Chains A and B, each alone.
Chain A
Amino acid sequence: MTGGPLGKGENMNAVEFEHVKKQFPRMGYMALDDVNVQINEGEFVTILGSSGCGKTTFIKMINRLYKPDFGHIRLFGKDIQNSNPVLLRRKIGYVIQQVGLFPHMTVAENIATIPRILKWDKTKIENGIEEMLQLVSLDPKEFRDRYPAQLSGGQQQRVGLARALVANPPIMLLDEPFGAIDAINRENLQNEIKRIHAQSRKTYIFVTHDIREALKLGTKVIIMNKGHIIQYASPKEIINNPCDNFVIDLLKTLNIQNNYVIDGAGI
């Protein structure tokens, strides 16, 4: 199966949220509170916001792990409520927040999960594994037969990325994929994912806590607070025209981080 768009139509948004609301039981505020957003095909959207603001909820609504209480979500113009959730998910790459590699499968088997379900033939699967491992800079010979427990945190996250990318899905959901990685490796992975996205021109939605990461990777940035989208704009626009105090405060932390980095380098 090729990774063509989920439906037909010109100039359609890859992802569209319309008045989407979601509340969990025993929660004071809504996890998503009347969220409206339109994401163009080929965009690399980063989602930034503090813990508990609804980033993961936003992601899980797209692959129907969560169901909206209200509103509509459309992928390429098609309301996902009307599509088969299993088939929908097979066209969406998903990297979960806690890596989520299957511990009883080798690296190769993890990457082959979706291809096997899609019944690819053997050579195509083997080529896919090889290609993906090279893409995330892991030597296939060395890594393909290892189990996740035999990998470092950063290597696991690379495999998680490879597993999500292998079927070349038109939409990629990445929930803090570089969460537990040191600064240098993180930088490398950021460059890699940017390169991978640029080659593929697929739609990426990428959650992060790190404002520098959000501004560096995103062609557009979503800033969230307590279930609301505060601002949705290009990184440049966000820096030049922060739309409210929350965003200004976020940007201040960026300056502090920058100063810190510069000071640190001076020592």
Chain B
Amino acid sequence: MKLLIKGGRVVDPVNGISRAADVLVAEGKISAVDKNIAADGAEVIEAAGRLVVPGFIDMHVHLREPGFEAKETIATGTRAAARGGFSGVACMPNTNPVIDNHALVEFIKSRAAAEGAVNVFPIGAITKGSKGEELAEIGDMKLAGAVAISDDGRPLMNAQVMRLAMEYARMFGLPVISHCEDLNLVADGVMHEGYYSTVYGLKGITRLAEEAMAARDIMLAELTGAWLHVAHISTAGSVELVRMAKKKGIRVTAEATPHHFSLTEEVVGSYDTATKVNPPLRSADDVRAVKEGLRDGTIDVIATDHAPHTVEEKDVEYNYAPFGIVGLETAVGLAFGELVRPGLLSPEELVMKMSVNPARILGLEGKGHLGVGADADITVIDPELKEIVDVNRFASRAKNSPFNGWELTGLPVVTIVGGQIVMQNRQIVV
């Protein structure tokens, strides 16, 4: 089957293209990008006034399968991704069991092939069971298709284990994704520490819980030469640490989430548990620093840390609710609203952070660009389309979004995966 995406503005930074052009897809690959391609029997997608970009890749997603299927499954999570304009997601290994060996990586891949609406790239655990004690079979997981390693959600407190993991992962060229959080400094905190935690009477989490760990891991990356990727960076201090590390030539990349550049700690005052997330929503100064980090290139990637939970788990007092926000279906709208329209990021830079850089960091061949022969993973965005976020219309099984009721402008209207349309006009079509 052939597809012709007609009349859109193609934004493909890898190939230096940012102009009106048609894109022809055949047999799952890009077969031409040019002016006025004849339809010649291809299914035509009208894209006038829209952006046609290499499929977005969310490199930080919790699909919850296996083990927590009440929260999300590979089927529902990948549909949420499709609706959010993502043609691929990398899923974190903190499932039950933890994805820490070859067979489990295979399991994710086979479930994704059977049930998934978009590409799924498994991330393996750093340590067995993510217990932080012994290294998992990282080399074998790489052979099975793991694209990175991480103990996300279970921070690796033992610096020696992290050092060994970095030395070891470096042999395979795998990035080590660090959820930077010193659990002792967190000390039962549930929100950002500062004026608002004092006013709301909630235990605070100091910025230092993240920054101390980011500093440690950056120094370990310098020592070992490994590739450190700092997950969900949330404080001004961490952004500065990454900026300095890059200046020194240390191999470090970083990601930020839409909620960390769109919301401040102040919203926690509603005691709405949809605002409870880890790392916590930070101060206005931190939000500014994260945006500046995105603007100046310190932060390479926008990733959602999509963290689904059931309504029942979240419908409790603030202290007792699990941490996490679902992000797949609001990310593009928030990025347009907070970053692109205010002029912090050009559309080209947005494509770098949501497609090109994630593909590079995870080593995904044929992804992140629209050159002839590349995989036909494509996102079409209507930068003017408005929609009020309604969690009840999410394709995700979960509803824990603090953006419910927000009006977003700039939304994905078509998601194509390997030449197949999986979302069109905001509706899932698989």
Q: Do A and B bind each other?
A: no
